[in-house]
Amino acid sequence: MAAQVSTARVFYSLSASTRSSPTFNNKGDTILPPFCRGAFVAALNSLGVRTHFVPQGEADGVCVVLADEMGGYVLGRDTDFVILSAGASDKLRGYAPLDMMEWTDSAPPEDADAPPAADFTTVAAKRPRSARSRMLPPTDAANPTLVLATYATAPLCRRLRLDAPMLPLLSSLVGNDYTPQWAGEALFPRMRPGDRIERVARVLSELRPNVSSADELVRRAVRRLWAKPFVDDAAVAELTDAVIDATIQYVLPPPDCCAQFPFCGELDAGCRTATASRATSAAPSRAPTPGGSTSGHCGQHSDAVVAYAAAQREGRLNSLASAYLHPDRVHLWSALEDPSTASCRASVAACRARLAAYTILDAAVGGLRFPPASAEMLDEQKQDQEANALLGIEAEEEQSEERPRVVTEYLRQGGGRIVVARRAVLPPQGEAVDGDELENGDAANGAEANGRRNGETPECLLPLAERQRLYLHHLGADTPAILALPPRLHPLVAAVRLLLSTGGDWTRSEIEALLRGCIGSLAAWDAAKDTATDTEPESAYATANEEPEPSSPLSPRLERIMSGKSQTFDPEITPPAVELTSRATRLVAALTSALQDSQALAQALLLPPPHGSPHVWIAGAALHSLLNGQDPPPGAGWAWNRAAKNQWKRAVAATLEGYDLPSAPAETKKSRKKNKNRGKKASEPEKGGKDNGPANRFDLLVGM
C-alpha cells in the first residue's frame, strides 16, 4: 500500500500534460484503470472462457496445476512458472511468456504444380510499423497463426546439471519475491543474474551428494555463497530460515477440496464450490428455508454458504475474500487519491458501509476466520488473573466473555502518506448492527437492520427487493426519490451520495457531468452486449418516451454541452488521449472509493449486476472529457440517447436532493495568490512594447 501512495504522490506532482501520457513515471510504476478486474472477468464470461478464482495468495501454483490437468501451456510474464513446473507431470507442455507471443498471417503453401507467373513478383518489402499489439490477431489475416516460445523444466535441468526438485532451492538462493532484499548484497555483490544462476547451480551440484538433510544443504550453501570477508553466524541462520520459507512457496497446492470453502479455488472435480454451483444452477428458483442447509460433496452446509460458493465461482466476491480469510489484515486500495487530501475510505459513512458488509458475511457463513489467540495474549491474560487473585480483586463478568471480534483495516491516514490500522468491531454472533462499530465511534444499540438471529433467514438470502432496500439503507441513500429510480441506477446514485457525504468542494456541474459520464458508460455496455447477442436494447433504457420527473434546473455548462443528437458506441475506434486535470482526477478517485465500499456491501448481499459490478460505470476518457467541459471523444466507451438523457435527469434530481452545491469551486489560498499575480502582471504598463527587465540589480528589490 505504501507503494501505491508513493505512486499517487508522483502522479499528482506532475503537470496535467505529463501525467496524461502512458509513461509518466520513469520508475515504471503502473496505474491500472479502476475495476479493470471486473471488466476482464466480464469479457471472459462473454466469450465462454472457463475461469478459476483463487482467494488466497498468488495464483501461480494454481495455474500450473490446472495446466497440468488439462495438458496445456501456462501463459504469463513470471519466470517462476518454469520453477513451479518442476512439480508437475509430463502432461504440462511448458511455460510460454506473453511478451514473446505473436500473431502472424501465415499464407497457405503454394501449389507446386501451378505454372510460374509471367510477371515480376515482389518477394521482400519493408514492413510498415504497426501500432497494433502483437498479442492481438490481425483483423485482415487470411490464415492467423499464433507463435509461442515455450520453456520446459527438463532442458533447464540438463543445462544446470541439477535434478528438478532442486530448482525451487536454486531460485530462492538466486533471489525471488520471498527472499530478503539484503540477501543479494550478502551473496552476490556486483554480479550479473546469469552469473548468479551459474554459481548457485555449481555450489548445489557439489554439495548435494555430501549432505543428508535439506536444512543442512541450505545452511552449507548459504555459507559457501557468503561473499563478505567475515561470516556472521546470526545472519547466516536468519538467511537460511528465509531461504527455506521462500522454497516452500513453490510447493504446488494439492488438487483436493480446499479448506477455504466457500472462497475456493476449484482445483478438483469434487470441490464443494463446483457441487454448490451445480446445485444452485439446477434449482435457481428454489426458495431457501430459514436456517436451512444443503447436502454437498463434503457434507452438509447452509444455503447461505452454498450461495456464496456459487458467487465465488463466478468471481463476484473479490471484495470479501480477504475479510473472510484474513480479518486481522484487510488492505484497502487507495484508488489513486491525492495523498495531500483526506482519504475518502476513512469517512464515517464509508466505514459504516464496510462494517455492514462484514457483519452480513460473518452472520451468514458462521463467522470469519479470526486467528486464534496468540501465546503472548494468553500469557498476559494469565498474568492479569494471577495479579487479581493476589490482590483479592474479583474478576469481572466481562472477562469471562469471548474476546471481541475485530476486522483490522489498513488504509491511508488523512492528509498524509502513512498507512495506519483501523479497527471495525463486529457485534456478537446472533446480534445485529445498525451503526458505526468503529474504534473511534459509538457502539450501536439498534438490532433491527442486519445480522442473523437464531432461526432467521440470512440477509443474503432475503428476497431481491428487500436486499436492494437494505443496500440503500446502509449507504444512507434510501430516500423516496432514489427508491423511485430503476434499480440499475441505485448503485451509481448511492455511490455519488456517499461521495458527497465525505465532504469536498464539488460543484453542481461536476456532479452532473459525473452522473452523465457514468450513465453513458452503462449505455455503452448495454449496446455492446446487445450487439453481440443481436437483441433489442436493455430494459433499463426501454422507456425512451417516458416523461422524466420534475427536476431542478441544469447548470448552464451542462446545458451547453448536452445536445439533442444521440451518440453511439463503436468498439473499433481507439479514443485519443484526454488531459487528466488534478480536480477531475480527484473526483474520479473519490467516486472509485465510494464504488469500492458499495461493491463490498453489494457482494455481501449477493446482489446481481450492476450492484456488484462497478466497472460498468467507469469510462475514463468520457468522464475526464465531461469534467473538463468537453464532449467525449469517439471510442471512449460511452453512448448517449434520449432514454439515457431522461434517466440522467432523474438521477441528478435524486442524487442532489438535500444538497445545496455551489456553482463554482471555492477559491483556495493557492488560487487566490495565482489570480492576484495574474492581475498584477496584466496591470503593469509596457515599456516600448517589450519587457526591458530591471535596470540594475537593486531594481529587483522594488515592490518587495
pLDDT in tens, 39-94: 999 888 888 888 888 776 677 888 888 888 888 999 988 888 988 888 888 888 89
Residue 311 near residue 606 (C-beta atoms within 8 A):
yes
The pLDDT value recorded for residue 600 is 94
Q: State which H helix or E strand residue 425 sits in.
A: strand 419-425
Is the confidence at residue 551, as pLDDT, over 70?
no
H-helix segments, 637-701? 642-655, 669-683
The pLDDT value recorded for residue 599 is 94
Work out the pLDDT band at 437, boundaries 50, 70, 90: very low
Q: State which H helix or E strand residue 146 sits in.
A: strand 144-147
User: Could you give the CA distance from residue 495 to residue 615 in angstroms, rounded to a whole number?
Assistant: 13
Cis peptide before 262 (omega within 30 of 0): yes
- Measured CA to CA in angstroms, residue 352 lies from 322, 364, 597 at distances of 18, 18, 9
Is the confidence at residue 573, as pLDDT, over 70?
no
User: Could you give the CA distance from residue 324 to residue 363 in angstroms, rounded to a whole number?
Assistant: 11
Is the confidence at residue 663, as pLDDT, over 90?
no
User: Could you give the CA distance from residue 616 to residue 690 in angstroms, rounded to a whole number?
Assistant: 54
Cis peptide before 575 (omega within 30 of 0): no
Is the confidence at residue 445, as pLDDT, over 60?
no
Work out the pLDDT band at 14, boundaries 50, 70, 90: confident
The pLDDT value recorded for residue 460 is 93
Residue 25 near residue 10 (C-beta atoms within 8 A):
yes
**Residue appearing with cell numbers 457531468:** 513
Q: Give the pairing type, strands 94-97 and 102-105.
A: unpaired
Helices 490-501 and 508-533, packing angle to 10 deg: 160
First to last CA, the chain: 45
Listed residue (600, 688, 606, 39) closest to 357, CA to CA: 600
CA 581, distance to chain mean position in Å, is: 23
User: Could you give the CA distance from residue 175 to residue 187 in angstroms, rounded to a whole number?
Assistant: 10
User: Could you give the CA distance from residue 324 to residue 604 in angstroms, rounded to a whole number?
Assistant: 11
Percent of the chain with pLDDT over 70: 68
The pLDDT value recorded for residue 435 is 45
Q: Please report, for the chain, the start and end positions of each structural domain, with discontinuous segments joined by +.
A: 161-248, 472-655
Is the confidence at residue 442, as pLDDT, over 50?
no
